[in-house]
Amino acid sequence: MSELSELLSRNFAWAEKIKSRTPNFFKNLSKRHKPKYLWIGCSDSRTAPDRLLDLPSEEIFVHRNIANMVHSDDASCMSVIQYAVDHLRVDHIVVCGHSCCGGVRAVLEDQTSGPIDQWLRPLSVLKTSISERLQQASVDERSLALTELNVVKQVTNVCGSTTVKTAWEQGKKLSVHGWLFDIRTGILRDLLGEINSAEMAASIHKQYF
């Protein structure tokens, strides 16, 4: 059996196991999609949000890319945010970075090229902003500092999106969060608390940038 055939077999076994426990599970699932959370995270296979949060996958609307970036000119990410807020009416948007991030390490070591170099260029700008302060720090310390600052930056980018600003102007219940997942311990850490207004977002941006 080929590797991909094995994956299809595993899928079939998984679906049969679910149906044996709850016969109408997939029928009901197809009729309803009402997640409470939008998760913007890294594509790293070790950071799947339903596993980290121990939640059913249908409760989390997900957008993932290299180094959990939020570019205002990224139509995919902006569309996800718009759909999550305007149509799914999520209550929370979480931007989550993680330790041991390959994208962050590549930027620190100047090892990016091709499309990924352009994608991570904003991260290179952040690296420059902290390079003097962290000149004597170890590689791991620099990596963690850049990962945390990147989460903060992407949170402010989410807050600055037209969709989120409009939602707050209209008085919608919506909060934005910045978290960090430590792969070495399995623990999530809240970096910024709950941001639920443009004023709070502006204050965080002023504090960090």
Q: Say which CATH number the domain at 183 has.
A: 3.40.1050.10
Q: What is the value of pTM for the model shown? A: 0.94
Same domain, 28 and 38: no
**pLDDT tens, position by position, 132-142:** 887 788 889 99
User: Is 87 considered catalytic here?
Assistant: no
**pLDDT tens, position by position, 100-133:** 999 999 999 999 999 999 999 999 999 998 888 8
Same domain, 68 and 23: no
40 has which bridge partners?
63, 95
Average pLDDT of the segment spanning 57-65: 96
Domain tally, the chain: 2
Nearest to 146 by CA among 158, 133, 156: 133
Same domain, 24 and 73: no
Average pLDDT of the segment spanning 155-162: 98
Same domain, 9 and 52: no
Same domain, 27 and 55: no
Spatial neighbors of 57 by CB under 8 A, at least 6 apart, are 50
Same domain, 9 and 67: no
pLDDT (0 to 100) of residue 1: 64
- Of 96, 101, 142, 177, the active-site residue reads 101
User: Is 46 considered catalytic here?
Assistant: yes
pLDDT (0 to 100) of residue 2: 84
Alpha-carbon distance of 53 to 47, in angstroms, equals: 10
Print the domain residue range for 4: 1-32
- Of 98, 142, 159, 177, the active-site residue reads 98
pLDDT (0 to 100) of residue 195: 98
Same domain, 141 and 46: yes
Q: Is 190 exposed, middle or buried (0-12, 13-18, 19+ CB in 10 A)?
A: exposed
User: Is 44 considered catalytic here?
Assistant: yes
- Of 10, 33, 46, 133, the active-site residue reads 46
Same domain, 22 and 76: no
Average pLDDT of the segment spanning 57-80: 97
